Structure 1
Amino acid sequence: MSSFAIDVPETLLARARAGDGAAFEQIYRWFERPVFTLAVRIAGDRDEATEVLQETMLKVLTRIGDFRGHRDGSGTPFWGWLRQIAVNEALMRLRSRRRHEHADSEDEHLADDRAPPPPAAADAAALGRALAQLPEATRSVLWLYHAEGYTHEEIATLMQRSISFSKSQLARGGRRLRQLLEPEQAHA
């Protein structure tokens, strides 16, 4: 389950829609850490993540009246709506500073992207350091796919790339992450 999966009472949303600053502050506090964490994982930089957090929350504040909720059981939960804004903001910032990555995604055979992570992945600090060494686009795809549960189709749409780009970045990133997390096997 995503760290965004926080049930926000309809009464709190109604107060926020009505302009109640205390209600919005409560929403901000509940979602500050998940938005920041997501942004760091996608952008790879704490300063960028802070900007993503601020832009996301500003958009939530100005657009909360647009959120219709899931009162009838068929719509998106608030946390899903907010998470989508955060992902879009992080990817938009990533696109705006992205260097021209020339990923040749058509000629590479894809590894199984559902392979379990290496045992070292249990060490969150080592995983964070390894993720930081990956190119921005690769890190974003890995995070969106494995941590946030997005499909290749959704990632392709969000990143304005092809499905094969998403798949190749996931395969390449997975291989590189395994290398970074298991350096002793690289020397054998």
Structure 2
Amino acid sequence: MPPEPRPSSSFAIEVPRALLDRARAGERAAFEQVYRWFERPVYTLALRICGDREEASEVLQDTMLKVIDRIGHFRGDSPFWGWLRQIAVNEALMRLRKAKQQPEAHDPLLDEREDDRAPPPPAAADAAALQRALAVLHPTTRSVLWLYHAEGYTHEEIAALMERTTSFSKSQLARGTRRLRALLEPDPRLMEESAHA
């Protein structure tokens, strides 16, 4: 069986070399263009990791300030978007760590065994339902799910970013997937009851 293809990141925007050179030279219009192109992916990533619009806005601003400050250090041996995404992820995870979230309470829905690597259920196509379900998840679990499924990070990369083990990343992915399934898939008993009503 061939390996599952990695998702394409919303950050995967090719930035012309000339624009990067202008930004390195300190040209304000070039920075504004970079900001406009990456504002939505950075904000979305931060919102998914932090779970709070105000925190996401702060991450966006801090990320872009760091990009402006460090663009002269970008060597160009990898895509610019990957470099910028790494800054955004680090900023969001740093805010998550600072928030000192309470430990996740035990959830009996997580005791069910499911395929840990399976993508979220088909109902996830409903963006509003997915957003509500993600908001219920513990921030760490939500972060792992987003980094793995939406951004295409491997468990090894997530473990390094979160300063945890690979097995921690895998268990959080399994936990989050099971929880999302429980939240997004309709309860067959309720559907049967409504059909007979």
- The normalised TM-score by structure 1 is 0.89
SS in 1 for 2:187: helix
Whole-angstrom distance in 2 between the partners of 1:150 and 1:143: 9
- Which residue among 177, 184, 187 is the counterpart of 2:187? 184
1:165 aligns with 2:168: yes
1:73-112 → structure 2 map (5 Å cutoff): 75-101=77-103, 111-112=114-115
- Which residue among 5, 9, 17 is the counterpart of 2:16? 9
Whole-angstrom distance in 1 between the partners of 2:188 and 2:172: 22
- Aligned CA distance change for structure 1 residues 60 and 110 (closer, same or farther; 3 Å): farther
Q: Do 2:137 and 2:176's aligned partners in 1 also have CA atoms closer than 8 Å? A: yes
Could you tell me the percent identity over the aligned residues? 74
- Aligned CA distance change for structure 1 residues 163 and 102 (closer, same or farther; 3 Å): farther
AA paired with 1:185? P
RMSD: 2.0
Whole-angstrom distance in 2 between the partners of 1:94 and 1:134: 14
1:25-174 → structure 2 map (5 Å cutoff): 25-69=32-76, 75-101=77-103, 111-174=114-177
AA paired with 1:90? A
Q: Do 2:117 and 2:174's aligned partners in 1 also have CA atoms closer than 8 Å? A: no
Whole-angstrom distance in 2 between the partners of 1:186 and 1:134: 24
AA paired with 2:122? P
- Aligned CA distance change for structure 1 residues 102 and 132 (closer, same or farther; 3 Å): closer
Shift of residue 186, structure 1, vs aligned partner:
6.9
Q: Do 1:141 and 1:166's aligned partners in 2 also have CA atoms closer than 8 Å? A: yes
Q: Which residue of 1 aligns with 2:3?
A: none
Higher Rg:
2
- Aligned CA distance change for structure 1 residues 186 and 80 (closer, same or farther; 3 Å): farther
Aligned residues: 180
Where structure 1 has 5 or more consecutive residues not aligned to the other structure, the ranges are 70-74
Whole-angstrom distance in 2 between the partners of 1:54 and 1:147: 22
Whole-angstrom distance in 1 between the partners of 2:64 and 2:169: 27
Where structure 2 has 5 or more consecutive residues not aligned to the other structure, the ranges are 1-7, 193-197
- The normalised TM-score by structure 2 is 0.85
